[in-house]
Amino acid sequence: MTRYKLTIEYDGRPFVGWQRQANGLSVQQAVEEAVTAFCGEETRVACAGRTDSGVHALGQVAHVDIARPTTPREVQGALNAHLRPHPVSILSVNEASDDFDARLSAIRRAYRYRIVNRRAPLTFEAGLAWRVPGRLDADAMHEAAQRLVGHHDFTSFRASECQAKSPVKTLERLDVRRLGAEIEVAVEARSFLHHMVRNIVGTLKLVGQGRWTGDDVAAALAARDRASAGPTAPPDGLYFVSVAYPPGTDGQAG
């Protein structure tokens, strides 16, 4: 039995999310069915961070155990072949140690949220970004975002159905920058609460519109009450970017 680390890219629009569910096709189900089609084995593919319906991934990481003698190159080619026509791509496959766990071994996760700040509707980017028509002040959003960086109780930015044992998290990075008509929000932490990034983005949008200040964001954080923060941003603009692991734990450095 060999454990493989999979780095996966996917468009979240056709799926009910990463995790298997009874109400539709998930990314997990699509990958697991591809594994079965390749080697005839019923196995579980575990990921670094579950994504909701409509959320995308540029570098999701998962692990899977396969008994059949094979190679990382063969696994990658076979899974990609069997995943067609789903918008899922196995970017790389590496052998990993038996104790590597895509979720539990992770030391940092990175997300990106894309806002297209323009009046005209989206065409090619529809479903891949959040269109906000009114002008947003990205500098003000970035300044206010720094009030959330650090070790805090993020109850105000936590979904009511969140199953995390504690609302306390350490936000290592929260940067907002404008690139032409696009505003990018980059977020990094060891772990996140359910809807935490989307709730933060929805709150920062209020700052960009001039409706809130950095002090309002700080007050919302201190309130430890979901009703005190801004709305939940749609899933369209959220991307799971990457995962970091301690060197030597995942079959490759870093």
What's residue 204's pLDDT? 98
Question: 112 and 101: one domain?
Answer: no
Question: 92 and 205: one domain?
Answer: no
The rounded distance, in Å, linking the Cα atoms of 69 and 6 is 17
**105 confidence band (pLDDT: 50, 70, 90):** very high
Task: Give the closest residue to 117 by CA, choosing from 55, 179, 57, 207.
Answer: 179
Residue 65 annotated as catalytic: no
Q: What is the pTM of this model?
A: 0.95
Question: 46 and 133: one domain?
Answer: no
Active-site residue identified among 11, 52, 65, 175: 52
**25 confidence band (pLDDT: 50, 70, 90):** very high
Which tokens in the block code for residue 188?
């990094």
Domain, as residue range, for 66: 2-105
Distances (CA, A) of 201 to 4, 70, 176, 230: 34, 43, 10, 8
Q: Which of 84, 105, 126 is the last residue of a domain?
A: 105
Query: Domain total for the chain?
Result: 2
Q: Which of 80, 105, 130 is the last residue of a domain?
A: 105
Q: Which CATH number does the domain housing residue 151 bear?
A: 3.30.70.660
pLDDT in tens, 51-104: 999 999 999 999 999 999 999 999 999 999 999 999 999 999 999 999 999 999
252 belongs to a structural domain: no
- Radius of gyration of the chain measured on its C-alpha atoms: 19
Question: 92 and 122: one domain?
Answer: no
Question: 95 and 132: one domain?
Answer: no
DSSP state of 156: G
